[in-house]
Structure 1
Amino acid sequence: MHIALKSVSLSLLAAGLLTACTTPPGKNNYLDKTYKITILHTNDHHGRFWPNADGEYGLAAQKTVVDKVRAEVKAEGGYTLLLSGGDVNTGVPESDLQDAEPDFRAMSRIGYDAMAVGNHEFDKPVPVLMKQRGWASFPMLSANIYQDGRRMFDPYAMFNLGGVKVAVLGLTTDDTAKMVNPAQIQGIEFKSPIAEAAKLVPELRQKADIVIAATHMGHYPDGLHGVNAPGDVEMARAVKGIDLIVGGHSQNPVCMKAENVRDDAYVPGQPCAPDRQNGAWIVQAHEWGKYVGRADFEFNNGKFKLVKYQLIPVNLKKTVATADGKTEKVPYAELIPEDGKLRTFLKAYQDKGQQELGVKVGELSAKLEGDREVVRSRPTNLGVFVGMAMMDKTQADFAVINSGGIRDSLPTGPVSYRDVLKVFPFGSTLAYVDLPGGEALDYLKAAARMTPGAGAFAQFAGVRLRIEGGELRQALIGGQPIDPAKTYRMAINSFMAAGGDGYPKLNQHPGYVNTGFVDAEILKDFVAKHSPIQAARYVPGDAVLRR
């Protein structure tokens, strides 16, 4: 039966009354009874093996959640699978410096059953990825990644849950080829995941009673994917026969408030209605292990019914005002204790990562200026340097950086990763937007209005601007006048893209892409690439003149 999400109330979801039927079952035998099957899922972990400064998420607390659910389901005679939508790599230095070894080893200890390969699994050379496969006790799946003409990973894995055969198919965004260093993927082809699914799903329906796709393709409501490659919605519409899509890549809680309308203001702990397209449920658990998604199904004689779905927040906290006018962080839900053994295991990696932050990554001939009173009042060499690092990573035509995001200078002489983190302590990610000339000009006009002294005051790279009284009078990109008929790529950070510091909101723009790369990591790599750095090369000169 088909149920339009716009007709499903959140109260029905909470009561566990959402149902769906699969396509005809596979050829395997199962008992004439109701099987309880729970699918747990996470995605876009990005190195968050350790809790943040507020005690949110972290794999030791995640293990407590998973263990508790598994015990509950087992006590009721049910079965569980734990799946990841990919992107274990890239996010925090303690993980990045150790090639995500703590993350993969901890996921093995938690007991993941399978994961989709994400685009960030290719951020480092292939030998590192192969080493990570060895650390993982679970299969890394992708049907559409080919190396020298052969599939690089297993396309799917089969699970027997008390006689019910479950196929988990892995798929990876074909945007990967343009999101990673080309030198690191020579001989590797990222074919259309939708085309590969169209070939494999009919085959899997003959082998399995339930077909799940673990994907790293992104959730774009109503299939409006803009410049991104097609995602889960588009695949579900194109390929019949998938029962559940456990997704990742777009880093959203997929909670729908109406048919084809996602609730992008979802609050932790509230009911969450997953998307449904062409008979397939689509779920995604935001990012970083902030949630563990839990989908409770019943399977009976070929019918696969969703009984209840929820996103379990992992120690997420909100800021509230106290009686004395101050603020404090309080949890959205009951605090989850960390698994002691796993925390002890991870503590050694956390300590090692902290030690490695002091290692030299480059050297500077002179200070790159990021002091607050300077960077918020006039163009600086660090503003240019950061902008060029952003442009280099995204192949952008120009970059705009809010000066409030630059928190310190880079010193003369040896530069450590810790020095880099003082410049970018917030963990913002790098984004870019492909804009028609007119829109690029409008954005530069908005940036020009940001007044000196404010955190919104803009630093630039790749442009020449003349600003009078806060109004943009002349603008060149790449030394040329802006052509309204041309498309320009602008690099910004995720904070600005979300409308931070009063900038135009661009994270819903069809040309927007969040690369997922953390700003400090990008800056570190750029320092290392160009070291020893001659500071004189980044003097802003008269590129941006204000009167």
Structure 2
Amino acid sequence: MKKKTFLLPALSGLLLAPFVLTEAVSAAEVATTPTSEAVAVTADSSSTTASTAATGTTTSTPTTEASASTSAATPTSETTTSTATEATTVATSEVEAVILHTNDVHGRILEDRGVIGDAKAAAIIADERTKVATTIVVDAGDAFQGMPISNSTQGEDRAAIMNQVGYDAMAVGNHEFDFGLDQAVKYKELLNFPLLSSNTYVDGARLFESYTIVDKDKTVVGDEFVVIGVTTPETATKTHPQNIVGVTFKEPIDEVNLVVDEIEARAAAAGVTYKNYIILAHLGVDTTTPESWRGDTLAKALSTNAKLAGKRVIVIDGHSHTVSSTTYGDNVTYSQTGSYLNNIGKITLKSDQLLAETSLISAADAASVTPDPTIAALVADIKTKYEAENAEVVIANNPVELNGERSNVRVRETNLGNVVTDALYDYGQTGFSNKSSLAVTNGGGLRASIKKDQAVTKGDIIAVLPFGNSISQITVTGQQIKDMFEKSVSAPHQVNKETGEAVLDANGQPLLEASGGFLHVSGAQVFYDVNLEAGNRVQYISIWNPDTESYDDLDLEATYYLATNDFLAAGGDGYTMLGGAREEGPSMDSVFATYLKEVASVNLLNLYEEVNPETRLFSVNSSLDTDGDGFVDFVEEILGFDPNDATSNPDAVVTPPADNSNNQSETDSSGQVSSDTNKDSNKPGTPAVKTPGQAGSKQENQASLPATGSSQTALISMIGLGLAGIGFALKKRKEVE
């Protein structure tokens, strides 16, 4: 393999860290301010609501998702563009029924900032039931997994709360499988209401009920509600593959229409007419989801189903964590509340309208609500039990915020992703038969931030890594690594819904849509160009060589040892290109906790201070050639000098490629950027070519390093893997500014 010194070796990078970190500018976040939903409501919303237009089609599109942080679960920043009337008085006599709905609660049992919590939600639901006799309460999936307090009993405590609240039905979400297939099936026994999925099959038979009939007043004919459930086929890659062995997920639209046919046929045979349908969908509207699997596509299809003509159809969705409300045709209403009990959805049905009026009861609306005493007592007992189990302190004080914002860890490099992957890499140096070459973890597996200036407990660690995954090491080829990173950066661009323009990062490059499969890495650098088509974005990958303390070009035919979580190792999140010989290790949370203790013990956690350090993952424009010399900018940065500038490296002046029309970067036959022009100067023992941000060569800095074998050496090697790359990031930002 060809030797590289694009970035500083780990140890010299560490010495530069204080200077570089003070000069670095944090990557700009997408400036999205939550706006009111199409309809705003107060907790006492029976008298006054602002309603969506009763006719026509409103549009709704997600932007970024809310934080998964336990401490900062603010309302989601997805907004809705919709046509709304002015606030109007709703006369109780006109209201035929009310549907209250939740989705993607993910175990938010406790009230928190921006989170209503189960006790207040129960009080709101109870109050609504006193106002409208036909009040239906449903959930669109992902109710049990997500927070340590709920995970500690595999969601069973939350199931008990939902029983007490009195839900009428719930859809099966992908995360209902996270504690295993047996536990998913067990929920059917634990819940006092139906768990629905029309398209989940085992051995040719539906695993769950496909629908239920909710009839709140059996003395009234025609007020029944048919409730059909449907689950995202993405479950095949959105839970651990071992959790769904033998389970298949059929096409959502086909299966829902099939169930409608079955219900209508039976109704006709019995002389019964059903006027109201609720579709509990855990499908979502993410742009990364195949269109035929999306909730809005289902809603649109149902608006053209002749058997549903003249009937009310309410599609209540989840999965994408989107605040959304829209209508299709003259009879289909679509709604989603966001996530994490930031909101409770309220759908009001009037006797003279097919289209419903949607609104949200937000955490702010619920601020003055008195919690339901029964649920509050149940929650208190659950909290006491959980706290006793998870109060163990891992480190006494955390000097930096480790950012786990969903809209951050799923689109770009973050300090939390770096420290978690560093923990995996560190364990991989001694924990397996072979030393790990690199480590990756998926952004979707990082579910919470760790606060600054407070103790970090076992519960905090589990909040970050709530899935119970273990560390695995698999044997892979360089080609598999390249394919893996192509998958990681394959999401479409984020688009500003108001202007239609791409959302840009701090360096002026398009920002990817949030994807749970976005990878964080330790032991490698990846250059990619999101301006290109997905599948052809990765421009260059280098792998850290601890023996030479430098980066080597990725060799597509070589064998590497990849440390990761068992979810990805088994092909989760669509990483089907992975595989090969595999070794298992301990739980990820225990590996992470051990690493945090070690780093904190030598006061090095502050080296993770930069939230978006840009030291390992680089979004570049692969066609940008600022000086017009035929060598694109990012290649010159990798080489560490201008190939045409004799003063920067007299022995390395080269001729530009003859044809730069398609790709100006120097590449070999594999598509990897080649470093042949610099290989001689990078031989072990020779002074390293200086790179942006480098104060001196490896030899010049050697005197300042800790002695080999000291207590800090290993940790410095780990943490320094990416810090020197900040020089490159700073240069890019200056160009943008």
Mind listing any 5+ residue stretches in structure 2 that lack a counterpart? 1-53, 60-80, 268-273, 404-412, 428-437, 467-485, 494-502, 510-519, 528-538, 544-551, 557-563, 565-572, 575-584, 600-713, 728-737
- Specify whether residues 277 and 253 from structure 1 end up closer, same or farther in structure 2 by C-alpha distance, changes over 3 A only: farther
Residue of structure 2 in register with 1:282 after alignment: 334
In the alignment, is residue 420 of structure 1 matched against residue 461 of structure 2? yes
Other structure's SS at 1:297 match: strand
Residue of structure 1 in register with 2:18 after alignment: none
- In structure 1, distance between residues paired with 2:254 and 2:96: 32
Per-residue CA deviations over 1:122-156 (Å, capped at 9, x if unaligned) read: 11112222333332111100001112221110000
In the TM superposition, what are the counterparts of 1:229-268 in structure 2 within 5 Å?
Answer: 230-239=293-302, 240=305, 241=308, 243-255=313-325
In the alignment, is residue 201 of structure 1 matched against residue 265 of structure 2? no
Report if the CA contact (8 A) 2:196-2:230 is conserved: yes
Mind listing any 5+ residue stretches in structure 1 that lack a counterpart? 18-32, 256-273, 317-331, 362-366, 426-431, 449-458, 467-473, 484-490, 492-511, 514-522
Report if the CA contact (8 A) 1:49-1:102 is conserved: no
Residue of structure 2 in register with 1:310 after alignment: 359
Q: Give how far 1:293 is off.
A: 1.4
Residue of structure 1 in register with 2:126 after alignment: 67
- In structure 1, distance between residues paired with 2:420 and 2:157: 34
- In structure 1, distance between residues paired with 2:443 and 2:367: 45
- Specify whether residues 542 and 51 from structure 1 end up closer, same or farther in structure 2 by C-alpha distance, changes over 3 A only: closer
Match of 1:182 among 224, 235, 241: 241
Question: What amino acid sits opposite 1:10 in the alignment?
Answer: A
Residue of structure 1 in register with 2:525 after alignment: 464
In the alignment, is residue 526 of structure 1 matched against residue 600 of structure 2? no
Q: Give how far 1:540 is off.
A: 5.0
In the alignment, is residue 352 of structure 1 matched against residue 385 of structure 2? yes
Report if the CA contact (8 A) 2:101-2:140 is conserved: yes
Residue of structure 2 in register with 1:498 after alignment: none
Question: What amino acid sits opposite 1:136 in the alignment?
Answer: L
Higher Rg: 2
- In structure 1, distance between residues paired with 2:247 and 2:175: 15
- Specify whether residues 446 and 157 from structure 1 end up closer, same or farther in structure 2 by C-alpha distance, changes over 3 A only: same
In the alignment, is residue 163 of structure 1 matched against residue 217 of structure 2? no
In the alignment, is residue 88 of structure 1 matched against residue 143 of structure 2? yes
| Structure with more contact order per residue of length (Cα contacts < 8 Å, sep ≥ 6) | 2
- In structure 2, distance between residues paired with 1:182 and 1:247: 24
- Specify whether residues 393 and 173 from structure 1 end up closer, same or farther in structure 2 by C-alpha distance, changes over 3 A only: farther
The TM-score, its normalising length taken from structure 2, stands at 0.47
Residue of structure 2 in register with 1:291 after alignment: 343
Report if the CA contact (8 A) 2:177-2:239 is conserved: yes
In the alignment, is residue 435 of structure 1 matched against residue 489 of structure 2? yes
The TM-score, its normalising length taken from structure 1, stands at 0.62
Residue of structure 1 in register with 2:711 after alignment: none
Report if the CA contact (8 A) 1:410-1:420 is conserved: no
- Specify whether residues 16 and 381 from structure 1 end up closer, same or farther in structure 2 by C-alpha distance, changes over 3 A only: closer
- In structure 2, distance between residues paired with 1:283 and 1:104: 23
- Specify whether residues 133 and 410 from structure 1 end up closer, same or farther in structure 2 by C-alpha distance, changes over 3 A only: farther
Residue of structure 2 in register with 1:30 after alignment: none
CA RMSD of aligned residues (A): 5.0
Question: What amino acid sits opposite 2:346 in the alignment?
Answer: R
Report if the CA contact (8 A) 2:201-2:248 is conserved: yes
Report if the CA contact (8 A) 1:166-1:212 is conserved: yes
In the TM superposition, what are the counterparts of 1:366-385 in structure 2 within 5 Å?
Answer: 372=400, 382=419, 384-385=421-422
Residue of structure 2 in register with 1:21 after alignment: none
Q: Give how far 1:238 is off.
A: 2.4
Q: Give how far 1:372 is off.
A: 4.1
- In structure 2, distance between residues paired with 1:5 and 1:379: 38
In the alignment, is residue 336 of structure 1 matched against residue 369 of structure 2? yes
Report if the CA contact (8 A) 1:61-1:338 is conserved: yes
Residue of structure 2 in register with 1:43 after alignment: 103
Q: How many residues align?
A: 412
Residue of structure 1 in register with 2:44 after alignment: none
Match of 2:207 among 152, 163, 187: 152
- Specify whether residues 94 and 377 from structure 1 end up closer, same or farther in structure 2 by C-alpha distance, changes over 3 A only: closer
Report if the CA contact (8 A) 1:406-1:424 is conserved: no
Q: Give how far 1:461 is off.
A: 2.2
Q: Give how far 1:335 is off.
A: 1.1
Q: Percent identity at matched positions?
A: 22
Q: Give how far 1:210 is off.
A: 1.5
Per-residue CA deviations over 1:170-227 (Å, capped at 9, x if unaligned) read: 001110101111111111111111121121223334432222101110135xxx5555
Report if the CA contact (8 A) 1:143-1:171 is conserved: yes
Residue of structure 2 in register with 1:455 after alignment: none
Q: Give how far 1:88 is off.
A: 0.6
Residue of structure 1 in register with 2:170 after alignment: 115
